[in-house]
Every structure is written in structure tokens, then in C-alpha cells.
Amino acid sequence: MIYFNNVSKIYNKDSIGIEDVTLTVSAGEFVSIVGHSGAGKTTLIKMILAEDKPTEGTVFFESQNIHKLKSGELTKLRRRIGVVFQDFKLLANKTAYENIAFAMEAVGKTNEEITLDVPHVLDLVDLGTKLFHFPHQLSGGEKQRLAIARAIINQPELIIADEPTGNLDPISTYDIVQIFKKINNLGTTVILTTHNRGVIESIGNRVITMEKGKVIRDDKDGKYVI
């Protein structure tokens, strides 16, 4: 599904995002990317979302070279990916309902579909009673659940979660991990970055370890070794 072919992102001599990364993520996998801050995890995610361009190498989503896509094609590709961030990146001026509805509007869903699906997905993440709350009225865990609801509402083929538990307490972290596991069990590919050992152990799937921009280990059985 995702293929990194000798990808490097060098900002300048002293600042290397990632260096010579080659890896493949297959459809249906749950891949955790671990490493210290500055290891290159977020740069890797940015490459998949075409938020940043590599200085060398190519990144493919299926057969498409992500960084060769035109603006319209990129928009369509992004509709196939759900994204969850550490800082939630919710639309501050929109209610929980509107945040989800916006993602549905973006892919051209009708008002009827939106009215039907939004309350349902918010129920799934236990926010059924907070439909009309603004993000600033929600707790950290609730915000992240809302971000997950937004990421899954259009049933994407891939979910990317960049440090989704970084700002959460242990109970919320456990809840969020369980949600991601359920999403993956339903067949969606999940790429998750973290530096939380507990999260990796509870997921127990493939773990890619990064250090100073390089992939130093790729384990199939969920080992956390730095």
C-alpha cells in the first residue's frame, strides 16, 4: 500500500529529517513507528500526506507517486486517508458535529448521509452527548476521540496517527489504543507513531524503530528496543 524508496529529507547539513528510508506497509497492517523526539517519525508521516517533499527518493501510495500528484489528485488521495494528530487539530470554530460533518462534506456526502452518520460515529467514540460542544469544551481524551471519529467517518483505507496518545492520561491512552485496534480489525491499515512503550506492548504488532532519521530496526512482533 505504502512504499518508501530510498527517501531522504535533508533540511540542511545539521538538520536531517529522514535519511535513505526504504520500507513497505501492506494493506491491513498495523504498524507502529517508534523513536525519540527528532528521530524522523513526523517527517515520515508528512511524506505520506504530501505535507513535505523528499529531497531524494520516492513515496508511493499504491501505484501513485505521492509527490508527483497535482493539487486535485492530492485532494482525492487525502480523502482515502484518515489523520489523527497529537494536538488533535480540530476546527476550533466548529462543534463536534460540524467537525465530523466538514470531513463528510469534503468528500461530497449529502446532508441526509451527514445527519444519519455523524451522531452514529460520535456514539461509537462515546461523544454522543457532546454533539454541539466546541473543541475547547472537551477534555484531551474527548478531543482525541473526536479526531478519531473524524478520521474514520469516511471509511478511509489508511489511518495515520501521529503521537495520538502524547497528550493523554493513561486511561484515555488505553481507550484510544483500543479504538485503533478495533479499526484495524475491521481491515483498515493503521500507521501509528509513538514513544510510549505501553502503547507498543498493548498493540503487539509490527514495530519500526527510527533513530536520527534512519530506520534502525523493523520487527514483526512488536519489540520496543532503543
Partner 1 sequence: MAVLNRIIKAGFLNFSRSGLVSWAAVLVVTITLSVITSLILLQAILHFSLGQIKEKVDVTIYFTVNAEENKIFLLKKSLEELVEVEEVTYTNSGEALKIFRERHQNDYPTIQALDEINENPLGGYLNVRAKEVSQYESIANFMKSDNALVLGSASIIDKVNYTQNKEVIERLNSLISGARKLGFIVTLFLVLISIIITFNTIRLTIFISKEEIGVMRLVGASKMRVRGPFMIEGAIYGVIATIITMLLFLPATAWIGRNMTAFLGINLYDYYVSNLLQIFTIILSLGVFLGIVSSLIAIRKYLNK
| Binds partner 1 by CB under 8 A, chosen from 102, 202, 217, 219 | 102
| Distance (Å, whole) CA 130 – CA 97 | 8
User: Which is nearest to 97 in space by CA: 55, 72, 130?
Assistant: 130
**Identified binder of partner 1 from the candidate list 10, 29, 58, 89, rule CB under 8 A:** 89
Q: Which is nearer to partner 1, 83 or 179 (CB)?
A: 83
Task: Give me the 151-190 binding string for partner 1, x by CB under 8 A, dash otherwise.
Answer: ---x------------------------------------
The gap between the terminal CA atoms of the chain, to the nearest Å, is 27
The site that binds partner 1 (CB under 8 A) totals a number of residues, namely: 23
117 binds partner 1 (CB under 8 A): no
Nearest CB to partner 1, comparing residues 160 and 207: 160
Please check whether residue 163 is in contact with residue 194, taking contact to mean a CB–CB distance below 8 angstroms: yes
* Nearest residue (CB) to partner 1, 18 versus 103: 103
| Closer by beta carbon to partner 1, 24 or else 111 | 111
Residue 137 interacts with partner 1 (CB under 8 A): yes or no: no
Ranges of H-type helices in the chain: 41-48, 71-78, 96-106, 111-124, 140-152, 170-185, 197-203
Take residue 137 and report the three cell numbers written for it: 469544551
Q: Which of 6, 22, 65, 111 binds partner 1 (CB under 8 A)?
A: 111
Write the burial class of residue 217 (CB in 10 Å: 0-12 exposed, 13-18 middle, 19+ buried).
middle
Q: Which amino acid, one-letter code, is at 137?
A: Q
* C-alpha cell recorded at residue 197: 512503550
- Judged by CB under 8 A, the residue of 6, 24, 36, 51 near partner 1 is 51
Question: Strand ranges (DSSP E) for 91-195?
Answer: 158-162, 189-194
For partner 1, give the closer residue by CB, 90 or 192: 90
- Secondary structure (3-state) at 127: coil
Residue ranges binding partner 1 (CB under 8 A): 49, 51, 71-72, 75-76, 78-79, 83, 89-93, 102-103, 105-107, 110-111, 150, 154
